[in-house]
Amino acid sequence: MKLLDGRAVSKEILKKVKEDIDHHIDKKHLGYNLSRPSMAIVLVGHNAASESYVRAKTKACEKADINYKIIRFDENISAFELISEIKLLNKSHFDGFIVQLPLPDHIEPNSIINEISAYKDIDGFHPLNFGKMALGQKSMRPATAYGILKLLQYYNIPTNSQHVVVIGRSNIVGKPISIMLGNDFEVGRSTVTSCDIHTPKELLKEESQKADIVIVAVGQPGFLTADMIKEGAVVIDVGINRLESGKLVGDCDFDGVSKKADYLTPVPGGVGPMTIAGLILNTYEAWKMKNLIDE
Ligand SMILES: Nc1nc(=O)c2c([nH]1)NC[C@@H]1CN(c3ccc(C(=O)N[C@@H](CCC(=O)O)C(=O)O)cc3)C=[N+]21
Ligand SMILES: [Mg+2]
């Protein structure tokens, strides 16, 4: 069994992005001095998990030499005020920005996401980007799904004609990864079965036992057990669950699954850092688009 080292792959991607940015800036593209890419992170209220994810994002910006600014708002901000701020950010110098989720209960997240300029939507959550992604057009891709594709690609894990079972159908992970792997991309052309926690357990097991690749994103520790996979499967664990002990675990029964799978992502150190790599790649791509840099 081989661990898919998202931390190491992410580090390599960040280094490569920095070098590519340096390269474009050295060329003084279009005859003017390009400034480095920049992103803003909108943070509403104080959520301990969000604070830690945002720290991981800013550290990645430092590694890729991308400028960033954290923009904080009081948890009592109204949806109307927040949308006004989003409209300002759409017109700002930032190449991209994200609105860290979850938002306070009184703000409906889609009402905010829909206001983000698709050109600056480095999370890839805007309906225009989601639609383009689904149609197989160039777009900002949902960062976690993008990161997972990059991880599979890095380890030369084939997806072409492979049977993939995705467990979880969230708009930010399960749904987009199911669509992307079904598309006719560099990484794709898979036969995808989309399941979720409501799929009857026997039916789910019947499917997942046949899968070459299982992607689990349900947010329940120990959900995927060894009896649910075939010998030699590739298992991508998207879960990040903090146990009462403080320990961070994924959605797999790690000890059991690791004895049967050929490849497995650890938690931490797997999909989490790859999500951040996806975000940095999207920022780099938004910057290139804005400056008309064509690869
Ligand atoms: N607008 C928005 N975009 C997001 O991309 C977004 C979000 N909101 N809200 C929350 C989720 C979660 N997320 C993670 C990013 C990195 C790690 C990560 O790097 N995790 C480390 C461990 C971190 C730790 O120790 O807590 C790891 O798995 O190795 C995890 C989770 C991005 N999210
Ligand atoms: Mg098969």
Is the CB of 269 inside a 6 Å radius of any atom of ligand 1? yes
Give the gyration radius of the chain's Cα atoms.
Answer: 19
What's the pLDDT score for residue 30? 60
Q: How far apart are CA 144 and CA 216, in angstroms?
A: 12
Give the ipTM: 0.95
pLDDT digits (tens, 9 = 90+) for 10-24: 999 999 999 999 998
Report the nearest atom of ligand 1 relative to the CA of 242.
26
pLDDT digits (tens, 9 = 90+) for 258-273: 999 999 999 999 999 9
| Cα–Cα distances in angstroms (integers) from residue 283 to residues 85, 96, 121, 139, 243, in the given order | 20, 6, 9, 12, 32
What's the pLDDT score for residue 26? 85
What's the pLDDT score for residue 186? 73
Domains of the chain: 29-117 (3.40.50.10860), 143-272 (3.40.50.720)
User: What is the Cβ-side half-sphere exposure of residue 219, based on CA atoms within 13 angstroms?
Assistant: 6
In the predicted model, residues of the chain with pLDDT beneath 50 are none
The catalytic position among 5, 123, 212, 237 is: 123
What's the pLDDT score for residue 184? 84
Secondary structure element (H or E) that encloses residue 66, with its range: none
166 Cα to the center of ligand 1, angstroms: 19
Residue of 3, 14, 2, 1 lying closest to 273 (CA atoms): 14
Q: How far apart are CA 184 and CA 292, in angstroms?
A: 26
Q: What is the DSSP letter of 224?
A: B
